[in-house]
């Protein structure tokens, strides 16, 4: 039903084509979710240009991430920077002492991880911020306008760093707009655990005997895995605030029923 993309140097690359949505099927080769493109092999970039005819690359990373590892140029593709949050905003909302400590250990990944646990900086509300914070809403509006106005036959590519959290939220929104059911949406989200099985299992084996289960679970999440509870919590938050994900797309992002129909005409086809 889904297909992994053979794009050397690009992690967690998948095509949403083949999923069922509202009695139809998502067209193949048009909606591509990936991890960062920074280490993409030349052949992978050539495929995105010549095979998939990438028309837009939407980069959901923070500005700091993007500046450290800029996206490569894909001829013919417009590169949109659509951050859902910024590091400065996150630090600004913290107690100054905590923010200073995080800044001082920012290059020590394990120290940063333990500080994240100690100060409860990441929890199941992470995706709620990715969807409902003011900066995120602005970026999602641009994201969907680009989807709506993409030239026919061109692929829409979107990514963050690992292609699982911010990218996963984007896939949830697109599949919801196209009429996919919750089972399909969650299945797509959870596929990251299959793609990154070796990496995530390596973390479990290395730290299982030296780390509490809750902390190990978070480390596996940050190290490449996903947790269904995060996505379910985000969908529940949209349901509470807007009545449904479709309500969010309409009321927060400004999509009309005509816009949704346009997306479905463009990205869906009758099943084979």
- Residue-by-residue pLDDT tens, the chain, 272 positions: 558 999 999 999 999 999 999 999 999 999 999 999 999 999 999 999 999 999 999 999 999 899 999 999 999 999 999 999 987 777 777 677 777 766 765 566 777 666 776 767 788 999 999 999 999 999 999 999 999 999 999 999 999 999 999 999 999 999 999 999 999 999 999 999 999 999 999 999 999 998 899 899 998 999 999 999 999 999 999 999 999 999 999 999 999 999 999 999 999 999 97
**DSSP calls for 112-158:** HHHHHHHTT-S-TTHHHHHHHSHHHHHHHHHHHHHHHHPPTT-EEEE
**261: exposed, middle or buried (Cβ count in 10 Å: 0-12, 13-18, 19+):** exposed
HSE-up (13 A, CA, CB side) for residue 266 = 22
Give the global pTM.
0.94
CATH topology of domain 3-86+125-195+255-269: 3.90.190
Q: Which SS3 state, helix, strand or coil, does residue 102 take? A: helix
Whole-number Å distance between alpha carbons of 41 and 227: 30
What are the extents of the domains in the chain?
Answer: 3-86+125-195+255-269
C-alpha angle 60/64/70, rounded to 5°? 70
């Amino acid at each position: 039903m889904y297909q992994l993309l053979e794009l050397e140097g690009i992690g967690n690359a998948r095509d949403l084509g083949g999923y069922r949505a509202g009695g139809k099927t998502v067209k193949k080769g048009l909606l591509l979710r990936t991890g960062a493109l920074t280490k993409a092999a030349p052949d992978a970039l050539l495929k995105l240009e010549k095979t998939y005819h990438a028309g837009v690359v939407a980069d959901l990373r923070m500005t700091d991430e993007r500046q450290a590892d800029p996206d490569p140029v894909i001829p013919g593709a417009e590169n949109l920077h659509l951050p859902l949050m910024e590091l400065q905003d996150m630090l600004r909302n913290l107690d100054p002492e905590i923010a200073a400590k995080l800044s001082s250990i920012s290059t020590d990944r394990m120290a940063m991880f333990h500080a994240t646990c100690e100060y409860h900086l990441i929890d199941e509300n992470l995706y709620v911020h990715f969807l409902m914070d003011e900066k995120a809403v602005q970026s999602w509006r641009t994201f969907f306008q680009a989807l709506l106005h993409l030239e026919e036959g061109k692929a829409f590519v979107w990514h963050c760093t690992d292609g699982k959290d911010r990218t996963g939220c984007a896939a949830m929104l697109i599949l919801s707009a196209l009429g996919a059911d919750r089972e399909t949406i969650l299945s797509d989200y959870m596929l990251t655990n299959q793609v990154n099985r070796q990496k995530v299992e390596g973390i479990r084996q290395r730290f299982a005997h030296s780390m509490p289960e809750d902390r190990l679970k978070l480390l596996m999440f940050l190290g490449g895995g996903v947790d269904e509870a995060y996505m379910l919590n985000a969908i529940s938050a949209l349901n509470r605030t807007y009545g449904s994900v479709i309500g969010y797309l309409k009321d927060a992002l400004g999509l009309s029923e005509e816009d949704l129909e346009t997306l479905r005409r463009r990205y869906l086809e009758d099943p084979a």
